[in-house]
Amino acid sequence: MIHRHLFPALFFLMTVLPAGGMDMASAGVGTRAPADTVTFFLLPTARGETREMYTIAGGRFGAPFTLVYGAVLVARGKDVFLFDTGLGRRVDKQFEENMPWWAAPFFEYKKGRPLALWFEADSSLPRPRRIFLSHGHWDHASGLPDFPTLPVWLPRAEYDFIHNEGPPAVFPSQFIRPDSLWHIYPFEDKPYAGFEQSLDLYGDGSVILVLMGGHTPGSVGMFINMADGRRYLFPGDLVWNRDQIENQQGKFWLSRMLADYDGDRVEEVIRKMRALQLQDPGLRIIPAHDDRAWNEILGKH
Ligand SMILES: [Zn+2]
Protein backbone atom coordinates (compact mmCIF):
# COMPACT_ATOMS: atom_id res chain seq x y z
CA MET A 1 0.00 0.00 0.00
CA ILE A 2 1.34 3.37 -0.92
CA HIS A 3 0.36 6.31 1.19
CA ARG A 4 0.09 9.64 -0.47
CA HIS A 5 -1.12 12.86 0.98
CA LEU A 6 -1.28 16.42 -0.10
CA PHE A 7 1.55 18.71 0.74
CA PRO A 8 0.64 21.78 2.75
CA ALA A 9 -0.17 24.63 0.44
CA LEU A 10 3.34 25.97 0.29
CA PHE A 11 3.99 28.37 -2.48
CA PHE A 12 7.37 27.49 -3.89
CA LEU A 13 7.40 29.69 -6.93
CA MET A 14 10.55 31.66 -7.34
CA THR A 15 12.01 33.21 -10.37
CA VAL A 16 15.48 33.77 -11.65
CA LEU A 17 15.51 37.35 -12.71
CA PRO A 18 16.95 38.49 -15.99
CA ALA A 19 19.80 40.98 -15.99
CA GLY A 20 18.66 44.35 -14.81
CA GLY A 21 16.37 42.80 -12.23
CA MET A 22 12.68 42.62 -12.99
CA ASP A 23 10.33 41.88 -10.25
CA MET A 24 7.43 39.52 -10.69
CA ALA A 25 4.84 41.79 -9.20
CA SER A 26 5.41 44.63 -11.60
CA ALA A 27 6.98 43.11 -14.62
CA GLY A 28 4.63 40.52 -16.07
CA VAL A 29 7.62 38.34 -16.80
CA GLY A 30 7.55 36.89 -20.27
CA THR A 31 5.42 39.59 -21.82
CA ARG A 32 7.58 42.64 -21.21
CA ALA A 33 10.93 40.93 -21.02
CA PRO A 34 13.28 42.13 -23.73
CA ALA A 35 13.74 39.58 -26.48
CA ASP A 36 17.29 38.79 -25.49
CA THR A 37 16.52 37.79 -21.93
CA VAL A 38 15.51 34.42 -20.72
CA THR A 39 13.76 33.70 -17.45
CA PHE A 40 12.80 30.47 -15.83
CA PHE A 41 10.61 29.27 -13.01
CA LEU A 42 10.91 26.03 -11.08
CA LEU A 43 7.50 24.55 -10.40
CA PRO A 44 7.54 21.56 -8.03
CA THR A 45 4.51 19.28 -8.30
CA ALA A 46 5.39 16.54 -5.81
CA ARG A 47 8.11 15.23 -3.57
CA GLY A 48 9.14 11.82 -2.33
CA GLU A 49 11.42 10.45 0.36
CA THR A 50 14.02 7.83 -0.37
CA ARG A 51 17.48 6.83 0.80
CA GLU A 52 20.72 8.14 -0.62
CA MET A 53 21.80 4.58 -1.47
CA TYR A 54 18.95 4.22 -3.99
CA THR A 55 20.10 7.30 -5.89
CA ILE A 56 23.87 6.85 -6.14
CA ALA A 57 26.24 3.88 -6.26
CA GLY A 58 27.94 3.63 -2.87
CA GLY A 59 25.33 5.84 -1.19
CA ARG A 60 24.35 5.49 2.47
CA PHE A 61 21.18 3.72 3.59
CA GLY A 62 21.05 5.90 6.69
CA ALA A 63 20.99 9.17 4.76
CA PRO A 64 17.52 10.36 3.71
CA PHE A 65 17.22 11.83 0.25
CA THR A 66 14.31 13.95 -0.95
CA LEU A 67 13.21 13.64 -4.54
CA VAL A 68 11.36 16.46 -6.26
CA TYR A 69 9.08 16.02 -9.27
CA GLY A 70 8.35 19.12 -11.27
CA ALA A 71 8.67 21.29 -14.33
CA VAL A 72 10.81 24.16 -15.54
CA LEU A 73 8.86 26.99 -17.11
CA VAL A 74 11.04 28.95 -19.53
CA ALA A 75 10.13 32.38 -20.90
CA ARG A 76 12.19 34.06 -23.55
CA GLY A 77 10.61 37.07 -25.21
CA LYS A 78 7.09 36.06 -26.17
CA ASP A 79 7.85 32.37 -26.32
CA VAL A 80 7.08 30.37 -23.22
CA PHE A 81 7.50 26.65 -22.83
CA LEU A 82 7.54 23.89 -20.26
CA PHE A 83 10.46 21.56 -19.86
CA ASP A 84 8.73 18.46 -18.40
CA THR A 85 5.40 18.46 -16.61
CA GLY A 86 6.01 16.74 -13.26
CA LEU A 87 3.15 14.81 -11.70
CA GLY A 88 -0.22 15.85 -13.08
CA ARG A 89 -3.75 15.99 -11.77
CA ARG A 90 -4.46 12.40 -12.72
CA VAL A 91 -1.26 10.88 -11.46
CA ASP A 92 -2.95 8.56 -8.94
CA LYS A 93 -5.21 7.14 -11.61
CA GLN A 94 -2.32 6.81 -14.07
CA PHE A 95 -0.24 5.12 -11.40
CA GLU A 96 -2.95 2.67 -10.40
CA GLU A 97 -3.73 1.78 -14.00
CA ASN A 98 -0.22 1.48 -15.35
CA MET A 99 2.32 0.83 -12.61
CA PRO A 100 2.98 -2.88 -12.01
CA TRP A 101 2.62 -3.86 -8.36
CA TRP A 102 6.21 -5.03 -8.08
CA ALA A 103 7.60 -1.69 -9.21
CA ALA A 104 5.25 0.55 -7.23
CA PRO A 105 7.27 0.60 -3.98
CA PHE A 106 10.24 2.14 -5.81
CA PHE A 107 8.27 5.15 -6.90
CA GLU A 108 6.43 6.46 -3.89
CA TYR A 109 5.44 10.11 -4.10
CA LYS A 110 3.62 12.73 -2.11
CA LYS A 111 1.53 15.01 -4.22
CA GLY A 112 2.00 18.74 -4.09
CA ARG A 113 0.45 21.20 -6.50
CA PRO A 114 0.01 19.88 -10.03
CA LEU A 115 1.28 22.10 -12.79
CA ALA A 116 -2.16 23.04 -14.09
CA LEU A 117 -3.01 24.42 -10.66
CA TRP A 118 0.10 26.59 -10.58
CA PHE A 119 -1.31 28.38 -13.60
CA GLU A 120 -4.82 28.58 -12.16
CA ALA A 121 -3.50 29.98 -8.91
CA ASP A 122 -1.21 32.63 -10.38
CA SER A 123 -2.36 34.70 -13.33
CA SER A 124 1.02 36.43 -13.55
CA LEU A 125 2.79 33.21 -14.53
CA PRO A 126 3.53 33.27 -18.25
CA ARG A 127 1.39 30.75 -20.13
CA PRO A 128 3.23 27.99 -21.96
CA ARG A 129 2.74 27.59 -25.69
CA ARG A 130 4.46 24.26 -26.04
CA ILE A 131 6.00 21.47 -24.00
CA PHE A 132 9.45 19.96 -24.30
CA LEU A 133 10.26 16.74 -22.46
CA SER A 134 13.63 15.87 -20.97
CA HIS A 135 12.40 12.32 -21.64
CA GLY A 136 9.16 10.40 -21.70
CA HIS A 137 9.17 8.57 -18.37
CA TRP A 138 5.85 8.70 -16.53
CA ASP A 139 7.06 11.02 -13.77
CA HIS A 140 7.96 13.69 -16.36
CA ALA A 141 4.98 13.24 -18.68
CA SER A 142 2.23 12.83 -16.09
CA GLY A 143 1.00 16.39 -16.55
CA LEU A 144 0.62 16.15 -20.34
CA PRO A 145 -3.12 15.29 -20.25
CA ASP A 146 -3.69 18.48 -18.23
CA PHE A 147 -2.53 20.51 -21.25
CA PRO A 148 -4.39 18.76 -24.06
CA THR A 149 -4.01 21.55 -26.61
CA LEU A 150 -0.28 22.20 -26.33
CA PRO A 151 2.11 20.67 -28.84
CA VAL A 152 4.71 18.33 -27.39
CA TRP A 153 8.22 18.71 -28.79
CA LEU A 154 10.65 15.84 -28.68
CA PRO A 155 13.34 14.19 -30.77
CA ARG A 156 12.54 11.24 -33.02
CA ALA A 157 14.38 8.76 -30.80
CA GLU A 158 12.20 9.69 -27.81
CA TYR A 159 8.99 9.74 -29.83
CA ASP A 160 9.71 6.20 -30.99
CA PHE A 161 10.71 5.14 -27.47
CA ILE A 162 7.52 6.32 -25.79
CA HIS A 163 5.34 4.76 -28.45
CA ASN A 164 7.06 1.38 -28.16
CA GLU A 165 7.94 1.15 -24.49
CA GLY A 166 5.44 0.31 -21.75
CA PRO A 167 5.19 0.34 -17.95
CA PRO A 168 6.84 0.68 -15.55
CA ALA A 169 8.88 3.38 -17.33
CA VAL A 170 6.33 4.70 -19.78
CA PHE A 171 2.58 5.10 -19.26
CA PRO A 172 0.76 4.97 -22.62
CA SER A 173 -2.26 6.71 -21.10
CA GLN A 174 -0.24 9.93 -20.80
CA PHE A 175 0.41 10.17 -24.53
CA ILE A 176 -3.10 10.15 -25.94
CA ARG A 177 -3.22 13.27 -28.11
CA PRO A 178 -3.75 13.92 -31.80
CA ASP A 179 -0.86 13.43 -34.23
CA SER A 180 -0.91 17.14 -34.99
CA LEU A 181 0.17 17.89 -31.41
CA TRP A 182 3.41 15.92 -31.65
CA HIS A 183 6.30 17.92 -32.97
CA ILE A 184 9.47 16.02 -33.74
CA TYR A 185 12.50 18.29 -33.87
CA PRO A 186 15.92 17.55 -35.31
CA PHE A 187 19.24 18.16 -33.61
CA GLU A 188 22.11 19.63 -35.54
CA ASP A 189 25.52 17.99 -35.70
CA LYS A 190 26.92 20.99 -33.89
CA PRO A 191 28.90 20.11 -30.79
CA TYR A 192 28.00 22.12 -27.71
CA ALA A 193 29.59 21.81 -24.28
CA GLY A 194 31.01 18.42 -25.15
CA PHE A 195 27.77 17.03 -26.53
CA GLU A 196 27.81 15.91 -30.14
CA GLN A 197 24.40 17.22 -31.13
CA SER A 198 22.65 20.40 -30.12
CA LEU A 199 19.86 22.77 -30.98
CA ASP A 200 20.09 26.50 -30.34
CA LEU A 201 16.40 27.15 -29.82
CA TYR A 202 16.40 30.86 -30.58
CA GLY A 203 19.65 31.18 -32.49
CA ASP A 204 21.12 33.48 -29.83
CA GLY A 205 22.63 30.99 -27.39
CA SER A 206 20.09 31.67 -24.65
CA VAL A 207 18.50 28.21 -24.63
CA ILE A 208 20.40 25.26 -26.02
CA LEU A 209 19.12 21.71 -26.07
CA VAL A 210 21.59 18.85 -26.31
CA LEU A 211 20.93 15.22 -27.10
CA MET A 212 22.17 13.25 -24.10
CA GLY A 213 20.59 9.83 -24.61
CA GLY A 214 21.58 7.15 -22.12
CA HIS A 215 18.75 7.34 -19.61
CA THR A 216 16.35 6.96 -22.55
CA PRO A 217 17.30 6.96 -26.26
CA GLY A 218 16.18 10.57 -26.74
CA SER A 219 16.96 12.11 -23.36
CA VAL A 220 17.54 15.84 -23.71
CA GLY A 221 19.51 18.27 -21.58
CA MET A 222 18.74 21.98 -21.51
CA PHE A 223 21.28 24.76 -21.04
CA ILE A 224 19.98 28.20 -20.07
CA ASN A 225 22.45 31.03 -20.57
CA MET A 226 21.25 34.25 -19.03
CA ALA A 227 22.15 37.70 -20.20
CA ASP A 228 24.12 38.41 -17.01
CA GLY A 229 26.33 35.37 -17.47
CA ARG A 230 24.57 32.90 -15.17
CA ARG A 231 24.45 29.45 -16.70
CA TYR A 232 22.29 26.47 -15.86
CA LEU A 233 22.11 22.91 -17.08
CA PHE A 234 19.01 20.76 -16.62
CA PRO A 235 20.15 17.20 -17.38
CA GLY A 236 16.81 15.51 -16.68
CA ASP A 237 17.40 12.08 -15.15
CA LEU A 238 20.90 11.37 -16.40
CA VAL A 239 21.66 11.68 -12.73
CA TRP A 240 19.19 11.66 -9.85
CA ASN A 241 21.66 12.94 -7.29
CA ARG A 242 24.03 15.74 -8.23
CA ASP A 243 26.81 14.11 -6.18
CA GLN A 244 26.95 11.56 -8.98
CA ILE A 245 28.63 14.19 -11.13
CA GLU A 246 31.34 15.17 -8.69
CA ASN A 247 31.96 11.55 -7.63
CA GLN A 248 31.46 10.21 -11.14
CA GLN A 249 29.10 7.53 -9.89
CA GLY A 250 26.20 5.85 -11.60
CA LYS A 251 22.87 5.22 -9.92
CA PHE A 252 22.32 2.40 -7.41
CA TRP A 253 22.59 -0.87 -9.37
CA LEU A 254 18.91 -1.72 -9.13
CA SER A 255 17.84 1.81 -10.04
CA ARG A 256 20.20 1.70 -12.97
CA MET A 257 18.77 -1.64 -14.07
CA LEU A 258 15.20 -0.42 -13.76
CA ALA A 259 15.60 3.09 -15.06
CA ASP A 260 18.56 3.51 -17.43
CA TYR A 261 18.24 2.48 -21.06
CA ASP A 262 21.97 2.55 -21.84
CA GLY A 263 24.15 2.55 -18.73
CA ASP A 264 27.41 3.02 -20.64
CA ARG A 265 26.13 6.16 -22.29
CA VAL A 266 24.89 7.44 -18.92
CA GLU A 267 28.42 7.04 -17.54
CA GLU A 268 29.83 8.84 -20.56
CA VAL A 269 27.45 11.74 -20.03
CA ILE A 270 28.33 11.90 -16.33
CA ARG A 271 32.01 12.21 -17.35
CA LYS A 272 31.11 14.97 -19.79
CA MET A 273 29.20 16.87 -17.10
CA ARG A 274 32.10 16.47 -14.67
CA ALA A 275 34.51 17.89 -17.24
CA LEU A 276 32.12 20.71 -17.96
CA GLN A 277 31.76 21.53 -14.26
CA LEU A 278 35.54 21.67 -13.81
CA GLN A 279 35.88 23.90 -16.81
CA ASP A 280 33.03 26.18 -15.75
CA PRO A 281 32.59 26.10 -11.95
CA GLY A 282 29.81 28.70 -12.17
CA LEU A 283 27.58 26.38 -14.17
CA ARG A 284 24.65 25.23 -12.01
CA ILE A 285 23.64 21.67 -12.82
CA ILE A 286 20.12 20.92 -11.65
CA PRO A 287 19.05 17.28 -11.96
CA ALA A 288 15.30 16.83 -12.35
CA HIS A 289 14.83 15.08 -8.99
CA ASP A 290 17.52 16.50 -6.69
CA ASP A 291 15.56 18.55 -4.19
CA ARG A 292 18.72 20.13 -2.73
CA ALA A 293 19.70 21.53 -6.12
CA TRP A 294 16.16 22.86 -6.63
CA ASN A 295 16.02 24.45 -3.21
CA GLU A 296 19.26 26.34 -3.72
CA ILE A 297 17.79 27.99 -6.76
CA LEU A 298 14.39 28.51 -5.14
CA GLY A 299 15.95 30.30 -2.24
CA LYS A 300 18.58 32.43 -3.90
CA HIS A 301 16.92 34.61 -6.46
ZN1 LIG B 1 12.37 10.94 -13.46
Q: Measured in angstroms, how far is the CA atom of residue 173 from the centroid of ligand 1?
A: 17
Q: Measured in angstroms, how far is the CA atom of residue 69 from the centroid of ligand 1?
A: 7
Q: Measured in angstroms, how far is the CA atom of residue 213 from the centroid of ligand 1?
A: 14
Q: Measured in angstroms, how far is the CA atom of residue 219 from the centroid of ligand 1?
A: 11
Q: Measured in angstroms, how far is the CA atom of residue 122 from the centroid of ligand 1?
A: 26
Per-residue pLDDT in tens (0 to 9) along the chain, 301 residues: 333 332 322 223 333 333 333 333 222 333 334 446 899 999 999 999 888 888 888 888 898 999 999 999 999 989 999 999 999 999 999 999 999 888 887 788 999 999 999 999 999 999 999 999 999 999 999 999 999 999 999 999 999 999 999 998 999 999 999 999 999 999 999 999 999 999 999 999 999 999 999 999 999 999 999 999 999 999 999 999 899 898 888 888 877 777 889 999 999 999 999 999 999 999 999 999 999 999 998 754 4
Q: Measured in angstroms, how far is the CA atom of residue 268 from the centroid of ligand 1?
A: 19
Q: Measured in angstroms, how far is the CA atom of residue 288 from the centroid of ligand 1?
A: 7
DSSP the chain: -----PPP------EEPPTT---HHHH-TTTSS-TT-EEEEEEEEEEEEEEGGGTSTT--SSSEEEEEEEEEEEEETTEEEEE---S-TTHHHHHHHHS-TTTGGGG--EE---HHHHHHH-TTSPPPSEEE-S---HHHHTTGGGSTTS-EEE-HHHHHHHHH--TTT--GGGG---GGGEEE-PPBS--BTTBS-EEETTSSSSEEEEE--SSSTT-EEEEEE-TTS-EEEE-TTS-SSTHHHHHT----HHHHHHH-S-HHHHHHHHHHHHHHHHH-TTPEE--TTBHHHHHHHHHH-
Domain 15-300 has CATH 3.40.250.10: no
Q: Measured in angstroms, how far is the CA atom of residue 45 from the centroid of ligand 1?
A: 13
